[in-house]
C-alpha cells in the first residue's frame, strides 16, 4: 500500500528558538527540528534552568495534534480561504485546559512554509484510515469529517468552474462506491468519499489540465492514474501522468 505522504513534497519554516533562528522541517510524515542534535536532552537542561525550547514545543504539539479532527475545521480549505492566525497570542498557565489546547492548535496552524497544509494531510490520512478500519470516536467525528470534505470540495468547484456563488449537495460515501459530479438545476450533486482529501486534495491534484480529479492512485509517487471529469460534468477520462 502506498504511504499516505507519497506525492506530498517536503516543507519547512523558521521560528525563533533560544535567541536563534531555527528550522522546522516536515518530510515523509515527520516533523523534525533540524538544528537540534539531541532535542530531548536540550529540553531537559532548559527545564532545569526554567526555560523553554520552542522547537521542541512545536514538535510535541504536532505529535499531539496529528489526529485532531479540529485541524480540518480550523485550517485553510483552499487558496481563497486563507487562515489569519496571530502567532503571539497571550497564554496563561492556569487557563482552562480546553483553551490551552485550542491555543496550541492555533499556534501550529500559524506556522509558515506550508506546514499547516502538511498537518492537514496527516489528520486527513489518520481519519481516512479510521473510516476504513473503524474507531471508537468515529461517529462523534463524522459531522466534522463531512464538513471538512464539503468545504474543500465547494471551494475547489467554485474556483474550477469560476462560479463564486455555486452551491453543492454532498454525499460522503465509501471509497469503493462510484464517485460523481452531477448538475441538478443550479446545484452540483457531489458523491465522493472522505478519502478524496487524502488521495487528491492534499496532493494538489484537485484540478489538472482543466479537469476535476475524482481519484488518484500511484504505487511509487512517479506514475499516477487519475480519474477526471470535464467542466461540463459529462465527459470523464482517465489520465496517466508521470512525474520526472
- The pLDDT tens digits for 136-152 are 889 999 999 999 999 99
**pTM of the predicted model, to two decimals?**
0.87
CA distances from 138 to 118, 130, 153, 202 (A): 22, 7, 21, 21
Residue 93 has a pLDDT of 40
Spatial neighbors of 243 by CB under 8 A, at least 6 apart, are 7, 221, 222, 224
Share of the chain above pLDDT 90, in %: 69
Please give the grid coordinates belonging to residue 75.
485550517
Does pLDDT of 241 surpass 70? yes
pLDDT at site 95: 37
User: 95 or 155: which carries more pLDDT confidence?
Assistant: 155
Amino acid at each position: 500500500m502506498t504511504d499516505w505522504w507519497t506525492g506530498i513534497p517536503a516543507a519547512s519554516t523558521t521560528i525563533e528558538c533560544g535567541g536563534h533562528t531555527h528550522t522546522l522541517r516536515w518530510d515523509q510524515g515527520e516533523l523534525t527540528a533540524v538544528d537540534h542534535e539531541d532535542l530531548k536532552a536540550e529540553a531537559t537542561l532548559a527545564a532545569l534552568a526554567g526555560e523553554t525550547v520552542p522547537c521542541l514545543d512545536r514538535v510535541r504539539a504536532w505529535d499531539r495534534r496529528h489526529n485532531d479532527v479540529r485541524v480540518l475545521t480550523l485550517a485553510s480549505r483552499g487558496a481563497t480561504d486563507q487562515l489569519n492566525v496571530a502567532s503571539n497570542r497571550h497564554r496563561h498557565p492556569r487557563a482552562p485546559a480546553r483553551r490551552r489546547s485550542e491555543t496550541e492548535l492555533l499556534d501550529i496552524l500559524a506556522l509558515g512554509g506550508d506546514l499547516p497544509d502538511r498537518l492537514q494531510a496527516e489528520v486527513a490520512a489518520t481519519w481516512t484510515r479510521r473510516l476504513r478500519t473503524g474507531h471508537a470516536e468515529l461517529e462523534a467525528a463524522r459531522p466534522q469529517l463531512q464538513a471538512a470534505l464539503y468545504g474543500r470540495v465547494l471551494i475547489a468547484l467554485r474556483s474550477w468552474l469560476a462560479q463564486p456563488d455555486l452551491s453543492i449537495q454532498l454525499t460522503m460515501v465509501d471509497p469503493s462506491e462510484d464517485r460523481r459530479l452531477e448538475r441538478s438545476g443550479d446545484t452540483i450533486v457531489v458523491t465522493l468519499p472522505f478519502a478524496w482529501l487524502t488521495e487528491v486534495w492534499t496532493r494538489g491534484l484537485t484540478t489538472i489540465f482543466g479537469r476535476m480529479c475524482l481519484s488518484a492512485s500511484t504505487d511509487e509517487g512517479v506514475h499516477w492514474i487519475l480519474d477526471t471529469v470535464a467542466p461540463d460534468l459529462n465527459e470523464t477520462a482517465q489520465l496517466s501522468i508521470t512525474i520526472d
